[in-house]
Amino acid sequence: MRAGNFHFTSESVSEGHPDKVCDRISDAIVDTFLTHDPLSRVAVETMTTTNRVVLAGEVRGPEQVNQDMLEDVARHAVREIGYEQEGFHWKNLALENYIHNQSADIAVGVDAAGNKDEGAGDQGIMFGFACDETEDLMPAPIYLSHNILKSLAEARHSGAEPGLGPDAKSQVTLAYENGKPVRATSIVVSTQHRSDLNQDDVREIVRPHVVNVLPEGWMCPEEEFYVNPTGRFVIGGPDGDAGLTGRKIIVDTYGGAAPHGGGAFSGKDPTKVDRSAAYAARYLAKNVVAAGLAQRCVLQLSYAIGVSKPLSVYVDTQGTGQVSEDDIAKVLCQLVELSPRGIREHLHLNRPIYARTAAYGHFGRKPDTDGGFSWERTNLVESLKSSFGAS
C-alpha cells in the first residue's frame, strides 16, 4: 500500500462460510493422502449446497485411500466445523465422489526422471508479501479481520457462545496516516445465530470479540459498528449459499493489500506451485522485512509446467528498501533453491499440515511444532543480515 493518508478495507470469512467448508474438505483430503504417502499427488475440488457435498479432481496415491475413506474424511471435516443443522448436517448430507486418477500427460511433465528434476505442476505467477504493520508482518486490515472471526469461533467451539452458528464474515476498514494504520473507521461482522436471538443480542455478543482484537483505542465510532446489517442470519452455510473450493483467494492471502497471481491453494499437494511457491514467496518476503532490509516487500515467482527452475524472481520493496532489490533477489536465490522440489524440502511441505490452513488465512500464523505454517518462520534473518552487513 502507498504512503500518505487513506482508508483501506479487508474482509475475512469463517470456517463455516460455504467456500471455506469446501476448502476444509479439500485440504483434509490432501492431508489424508500425504499421511499415507508423502509423495501423493492431489488436486481435489469440493462443491457444497443444501445437504450435499460433491467431490471432483485427480489424484495419485496409495490404494488404501479409497472412496469410503474419503467420504469419512469429508463428513468429519463438516462435523469439526460444527454443522448439525437441518439444511446441512455432517451425518445426513448426500455425498457424490468423482475423484479419479491423475492424467498421465500431467504426470510425465511433473515427475523427475533421469537427469530431469521434478517440474512445476502448472505454469503461473505467485506473489508473497510482508510489511511491518503487525507483529506477524501482515497488513493490519486482513490480520484484524481474521482474528475477530477466530475469536468468535473459539467462543462457539468452547461453548462460551452457544448462540452463534458456524457461518460468519468480517470486514475491517482502517485509517492510515503517513502510510501507517492508526484506527478503525468501520467494522462489519455478520454471524449466523440461533433463531431466538435478535440483532441487538448478537451485537452485544460480538462486541467484546472486536474490542479485544483491536489495539487499544482503535474501536470505530458506534454508528460505524455494523453487526448483521440485514437484521437476521439464521440460515447460513451451504444451506444458505453454494460453496466452492478456492473462491476466497484474497481472504487466504493479504486482503487485497498485495498482488495475487490468481491460483488457489486448497485441495492441492505441494508439487503444485500455486500453493508451494506462494508459500515460498511469503517466506522470503517475510524474512526480508524481519531482517530490517525493508518495511514492505512484494516478491513474485513465475514457473512453467514441467520446468523446475523459476522463470523469474522479482523483488519490490515499494520505496522502503535499505539495499538494492536486485541484490536481495540474488541473495534469496542463494539461500533457498526455488525449484518445486527445493521449496518442498526446505519448508518440509510433504506433511499432513493443510486442513488447518483452510480458514483464517494461510499467512500471518504462528509456526507449529509439527511443521505447519513453516513458511512463517524467520530463520533466514541472520543470513540476510550477514549478506548485507546489517546488524
Same domain, 106 and 128: no
Of 148, 181, 202, 211, the residue nearest 11 (C-alpha): 148
Residues that are catalytic: 17, 19-20, 45, 58, 169, 233, 241-242, 247-248, 268, 272, 274
Same domain, 282 and 379: yes
Can you give the pTM of this predicted structure?
0.95
Same domain, 382 and 262: yes
Q: What are the pLDDT digits (tens) for 279-303?
A: 999 999 999 999 999 999 999 999 9
Report the C-alpha gap between 335 and 81 in whole angstroms.
39
Last residue of one domain, picked from the residues 166, 200, 235: 235
Amino acid at site 7: H
Q: Which residue has the higher pLDDT, 110 or 265?
A: 265
Same domain, 83 and 189: no
Q: What are the pLDDT digits (tens) for 317-345?
A: 999 999 999 999 999 999 999 999 999 99
Same domain, 146 and 219: yes
Whether 244 is covered by a domain: the verdict is: no
Of 61, 51, 156, 50, the residue nearest 93 (C-alpha): 51
Same domain, 173 and 273: no
Q: What is the DSSP string of 269-334?
A: -TTSHHHHHHHHHHHHHHHHHHTTS-SEEEEEEEE-BT--S-SEEEEE-TT--SS-HHHHHHHHHH
Whether 117 is covered by a domain: the verdict is: no
Whether 251 is covered by a domain: the verdict is: no
> Which of 114-118, 218-222, 321-325 has the lowest average pLDDT?
114-118
Of 357, 383, 380, the residue nearest 368 (C-alpha): 357
Whether 118 is covered by a domain: the verdict is: no
> Cβ distance 34 to 351 under 8 Å?
yes
Same domain, 128 and 271: yes
Whether 248 is covered by a domain: the verdict is: no
> Cβ distance 86 to 225 under 8 Å?
no
Mean of all residue pLDDT scores within the chain = 95
Per-residue confidence (pLDDT) for residue 136, from 0 to 100: 98
Chain position carrying cell 463428513: 75
Q: What are the pLDDT digits (tens) for 12-42?
A: 999 999 999 999 999 999 999 999 999 999 9
Same domain, 265 and 373: yes
Supply the range of the domain harboring residue 164: 6-13+139-235
Of 149, 154, 180, 166, the residue nearest 11 (C-alpha): 149
Same domain, 88 and 150: no
Whether 289 is covered by a domain: the verdict is: yes
Per-residue confidence (pLDDT) for residue 249, from 0 to 100: 98
> Cβ distance 288 to 328 under 8 Å?
yes
Same domain, 381 and 305: yes
Same domain, 310 and 366: yes
Same domain, 59 and 143: no
Whether 284 is covered by a domain: the verdict is: yes
Band (109; pLDDT cuts 50, 70, 90): low
> Cβ distance 315 to 298 under 8 Å?
yes
Q: What CATH number is given to the structural domain containing 188?
A: 3.30.300.10
Whether 116 is covered by a domain: the verdict is: no
> Cβ distance 278 to 299 under 8 Å?
no
Per-residue confidence (pLDDT) for residue 4, from 0 to 100: 87
Number of domains in the chain: 3
Per-residue confidence (pLDDT) for residue 372, from 0 to 100: 97
Per-residue confidence (pLDDT) for residue 117, from 0 to 100: 58
